[in-house]
Structure 1
């Protein structure tokens, strides 16, 4: 599966700072020191509907992580998956009377278009669950043969008790885990499971549903969590720098994935930091496909909204905060974009070197994009009020905003 084209990232003078970021597993800020190649895995979409603002906010956060690392002169090895076979996709295809593969291909293509328009840097490896199945099957067999998984009526389940570190990503109690498991794709009430929280690794073939050859597992399809584990281990290995996604993935997805990987390898942890973006709401509720309260990136683009303004709307909120989409936040972003473009269109301006440092410092401090935007606002206001004599300043600001914030002026 191919990703989307990369926009050029301008080179800036000097060098950025190492990133301090909030790690869900430790509950505090950690300073990441990835070495010459930073490794990041971000969980991708289940392609049964278009990219909504909650998706965009999540991928914007991890795009900033990449940009901070690139500014420190590191290379970035970024991997993202596409869950192109799963119950929600099959249910939507059945509801609409379309082929599930055609639906997945259509929505994945639209996602690529949205990411390109928003200037999100693409992953080096963009892998679908279906194409990962040949690598998933051996992992499930290894877990089963090691006693970390068991069969139940043809399905294969992972035993959470096989990982002594289970629970150390989300730090939830058993009752909270059971509740979230039921809400987020698990089956804690299924009779016969060793532990209600045990997640499915391999679902035996069901009539009328797609299935693949699973070797000694029989025909079936993979569970949600093992998909990401197989892709991450194949392309990044254990101990990669950041596992990312929305805050609703901390449990069960990232918790279970970490345990799968740790049981497979005997190593801990799977990722050095688990980083989670907040939720975007509309009309008082989390924006989600199940609720149908969605604002789509593609619809805004069709209405003629500048993608740079969409991105500025996202950047105006700290990535870990939950926030509400309103017409006003978009109007504020459009006005900000106009001010910035007017400021950099002048032939000279106030010196910009300090501004570049402010943006770098804000982003290195747990991706504080609102503070970065306020710094640019101050420079633009000074440009409007007093002007300046530095002929290179507007170009420096334009390149810094592009390189570090992904906004083309």
Structure 2
């Protein structure tokens, strides 16, 4: 019997008289009432010395930040803003963050509206916010210069999988290391899972000599746990009324054992405890200087653009006199998704890939206004009783996690939106649409 789609519980919030969010699940605030943005800058950006470190990056060099507790995304936006102001134009920021209870889109909009100075960035995050479904969600901004990996689910399960990632921002060094940690879960007493020994051991394995960490808490258990995985820890003055906080630097190149660390993993780069059987990750010594791509359809052109943004010379070869003359020559390509009610690798891939594609073309439209992506919405008609039942099940699932996701329309609603007589109920993807692939190429 097939398994139904796994649900993820959204954050449950109350709002105080200042319009600031409060978590009822953890009975704790998301940030300082004095100033959440200034707290983020002091506790995480300044304590990790990020302005100077960003400014010293070389050409096409990556800087990796990992965070426990994405919350409102405030730390990500603050880091993005500082990186844009301080780092070389062709350097890259990879921001990895975990979140067990993601905010609903309406709550995210309300929270981020507190900081108008971040609106140019927060609007992009809001537009590309992933469906709150379990797993890893990837978003690129500024032509791939800023990369967000948002891991929705249990950090104790998802962060160890980063060890096996072949994303270039992780593999750009032999140590596959994070450069700076933002430890920003709710208080340890209220959310102990984000401060567990298991999680901090993973933190140690993802760090190298010189990796820094910062956190608002000064709890002794956190200090000792960081020391146990090779960090030198010190207390400094906390933000606002908070007396102390912790900063740390990795000083010991010690190996922290964890389940799955076998001799086979160490000697065979194609094998890992978290890999699927078909996963092959061949090791390369360095980034290629020149790549040749055969074909000039939408897949080839997208690949070429990604490589070029990484500073790699690209040559595209095609038998036709211009790009997009094969299957991609269709003048109207519709962006939509066929979502299943059953859980599985394909369903999870679809739930992650559709929002990613939507985000990709939205970002492309920002950079190239003449591209003309038409987000007119897409309806999938329930042409029979079976399809209508499946669509209803999907909408029940989406409504449990966020009512801003694809919705189910009856025939009258579908007719009103389409301005055409529609005889079937439909699943409506409001932000979906179409484009001409030739324009993309």
User: TM-score by structure 2 length?
Assistant: 0.25
Higher strand fraction: Structure 1 or Structure 2? 2
User: TM-score by structure 1 length?
Assistant: 0.26
